[in-house]
Structure formats: C-alpha cells, structure tokens
C-alpha cells in the first residue's frame, strides 16, 4: 500500500488538464500514492473512470470537484469531497455551473473578437455544445492561432514571455474581460457552500494563499460561519509560512485540514505530478469521519 495523498488533481476533463483519470491513477500507483482526489473544474465527468481505475490498481480515489465561485467580485474555488452522484441538489448545482460557464465563455469570445483577435472554431463549437472550456484553454488557443500571430498584443506577450504568453493573456486580458461581465458570473461562494453541505458533501476552500483566490483569516471566518468545513492548507501555491499560518487558522476555527498539488499538466507545467507528497493519512480519516457524520 502506498503512503502519500494528494487531494487536488485535475484530469483532461478540466480541458486544461493533461492526463486521463486512468493515467493519473497509474501515475499515482507508480509514485507510491495511497489516496488521491481528482477534482476537475465544475465537472464530475472524470470521477467515475477514476473510481473504477482506482479499484483496479489499488488506489483509493475520493470523489471530488472544484467549484468556481465568487463573492463581491472576488473568486474563490471550493472543493467538494465525497459527493453523491445521485443527489438532486448536487446535480442541480452542476447544471447551474455549466450554464454560467457557457454564458461567460461566449462573452469572452465576443470581447476577444472586438479587439481583432480570432478564436478557433473548434473551441467555439465546444462552448456552444456546453462542454467545459476553461479560461487558460481559450487563452492558449487564441495565442497559438495562426490568424493572431501579427496582432500587436500577441507579439508583445510573446516577446515578454515566449513560453507562457498564454498565461499572461489569461491574467492580463481574460481576467479583465471577466470583470466586465455584467451578469453574476458564477454561483455565489455562500450558495455553493450551502448546496454542497445540503447534498451531503464536504466544502473545503482551495488554495486560499493563491493570488487570484486569496482569503485571509477574516474571510475564512466568514465562510466558516456560512458552512465552510475545511481549508486546503498544504498547496503548491503556499509558502512554508503560509502553510503554518493557514494550519493555525484551521485549528483556531475548527476547520478540516486538507492538501493537494493542483496538478494540471498543460497550463501549469511548473507543477509536476507528485510535486506534493503528503504523508499524513489522518487528513483522509478526518474527511471520512465527517462524511460518516453526514450519513447519520
């Protein structure tokens, strides 16, 4: 039996991920992992495959999802662990996320076109079909599209950073577009936490030390008062000082402590699979006890 855990991994079902759920399970086996959670962006389409592969290769797989939320125009990512595939409240939440992501992506395309840039037809087709396409995937497609190579913005970004020009496009342009989106872009973090708990799943705040998703103790306390049950303390986004700080906050507020690498592969090549090897299985035990309490 393996000895490591990683409770935040993305597969190809996130559209910005690199590996299939089965490939992730096989890698986990090779690197001596015991427990993993594939938590794709706003979709659970890869979890069933992960569970079957986990059973075959002897890797414990926790059903999970990473939900994109916002509060006062600030993004928060909420991890939901041990969801029930058949729960109506949870499934309605997923349906809502699909609609909101499609509408925002169509708005992004409109604004991208307005500055003279093209978006590949296959990306547009996938969005119109309701497929999960995340911001970095759109950014990469736009930056690599042959029709955009002479555009001043693309030239500037490639000159600034040839390897990660699409990340710059995402941060400097896509995120600005998102702020222009007049509609409620994503589900409120408070609604998400409420629905996750009502469905019998465990809501955990992902990488609160990351720049785009930052949450200080005051924000975490507010979220806890509205049903948050845990913090992702161990993260590749966090410095050792942040890990200590968020661990202290979790213990002070009585929140679960979790951890994961946030491995993607394509859009975050600096985060390698196995970059975070957490050896503390008590983290999983605590999640299991909490889930069991829901069932009583």
Give the DSSP letter string of 274-294.
TS--B--THHHHHHHHHHHHH
**Adjacent-strand bridge partners of 9:** 38, 263
Residue 44 CB: number of other CB atoms within 10 A?
20
pLDDT tens, position by position, 134-143: 888 899 999 9
pLDDT of residue 183: 54
Last residue of a domain, one of 160, 180, 200: 180
pLDDT tens, position by position, 199-217: 999 999 999 999 888 999 9
pLDDT tens, position by position, 257-286: 999 999 987 666 677 888 889 999 999 999
Regarding whether 152 and 72 lie in a shared domain, the answer is: no
Can you give the residue range of the structural domain that contains 70? 4-87+188-295
Last residue of a domain, one of 148, 180, 212: 180
Segment holding 101, helix H or strand E: helix 88-114
Regarding whether 192 and 83 lie in a shared domain, the answer is: yes
pLDDT tens, position by position, 72-127: 878 899 999 999 998 999 999 998 888 888 888 899 999 999 999 999 999 999 88
- In angstroms, the CA 153 to CA 143 distance is 9
Regarding whether 284 and 201 lie in a shared domain, the answer is: yes
- In angstroms, the CA 204 to CA 79 distance is 5
> Residue 32, SS3?
coil
Q: What is the CATH number of the domain that holds 290?
A: 3.20.20.140
Share above pLDDT 90 across residues of the chain, in percent, rounded to a whole number: 68
What contacts 195, CB < 8 A, 6 or more positions away? 89, 90, 92, 93
Q: Over 70: is that where the pLDDT of 196 sits?
A: yes
Regarding whether 275 and 242 lie in a shared domain, the answer is: yes
Q: Are 227 and 194 in contact (CB under 8 A)?
A: yes
Regarding whether 158 and 13 lie in a shared domain, the answer is: no
Regarding whether 142 and 283 lie in a shared domain, the answer is: no
- In angstroms, the CA 87 to CA 256 distance is 23
Regarding whether 134 and 83 lie in a shared domain, the answer is: no
Q: Are 33 and 6 in contact (CB under 8 A)?
A: yes
Helix axes 217-225, 189-198, angle to 10 degrees: 40
pLDDT tens, position by position, 13-51: 887 777 999 999 999 999 999 999 999 988 898 999 999
Q: What are the structure tokens assigned to 226, written together?
A: 């509205």
Strand 187-188: give its sheet, edge to edge.
Answer: 187-188, 64-71, 74-81, 202-205, 230-235, 256-260
Regarding whether 111 and 53 lie in a shared domain, the answer is: no
Regarding whether 176 and 125 lie in a shared domain, the answer is: yes
DSSP 266: S
Last residue of a domain, one of 180, 202, 225: 180
Regarding whether 276 and 137 lie in a shared domain, the answer is: no
pLDDT tens, position by position, 215-264: 999 999 999 999 999 999 999 999 999 999 999 999 999 999 999 999 98
Domain count, the chain: 2
**pTM of this structure:** 0.84
11 CB-side CA count, 13 A: 26
Strands 230-235, 256-260: pairing is parallel
Regarding whether 206 and 83 lie in a shared domain, the answer is: yes
Q: What are the structure tokens assigned to 232, written together?
A: 């992702």
Regarding whether 284 and 250 lie in a shared domain, the answer is: yes
């Amino acid at each position: 039996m393996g000895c490591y855990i990683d409770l935040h991994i993305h597969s190809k079902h996130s559209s910005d991920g690199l590996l299939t759920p089965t490939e992730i399970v096989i890698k986990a086996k090779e690197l001596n992992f015991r427990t993993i959670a594939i938590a794709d962006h706003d979709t659970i389409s890869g979890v069933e495959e992960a569970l079957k592969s986990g059973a075959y290769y002897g890797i414990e797989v926790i059903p999970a999802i990473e939900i994109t939320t916002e509060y006062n125009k600030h993004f928060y990512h909420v991890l939901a662990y041990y969801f029930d595939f058949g729960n109506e409240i949870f499934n309605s939440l997923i349906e809502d996320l699909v609609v909101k992501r499609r509408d925002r992506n169509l708005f992004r395309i409109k604004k991208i076109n307005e500055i003279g840039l093209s978006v590949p037809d296959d990306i547009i087709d996938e969005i119109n079909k309701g497929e999960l396409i995340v911001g970095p995937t759109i950014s990469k497609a736009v930056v690599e599209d042959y029709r955009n190579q002479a555009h001043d913005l693309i030239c500037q970004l490639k000159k600034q950073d040839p390897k990660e020009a699409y990340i710059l496009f995402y941060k400097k342009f896509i995120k600005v577009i998102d702020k222009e989106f007049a509609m409620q872009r994503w589900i409120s973090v408070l609604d998400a936490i409420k629905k996750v708990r009502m469905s019998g799943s465990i809501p955990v705040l992902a990488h609160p030390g990351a720049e785009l998703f930052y949450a200080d103790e005051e924000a975490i306390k507010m979220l806890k008062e509205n049903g948050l049950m845990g913090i992702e303390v161990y993260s590749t986004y966090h410095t050792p000082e942040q890990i200590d700080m968020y661990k202290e906050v979790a213990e002070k507020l009585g929140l679960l402590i979790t951890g994961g690498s946030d491995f993607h592969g394509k859009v975050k090549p600096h985060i390698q699979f196995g970059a975070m090897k957490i050896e503390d299985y008590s983290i999983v035990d605590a999640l299991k006890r909490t889930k069991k309490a829901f069932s009583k």
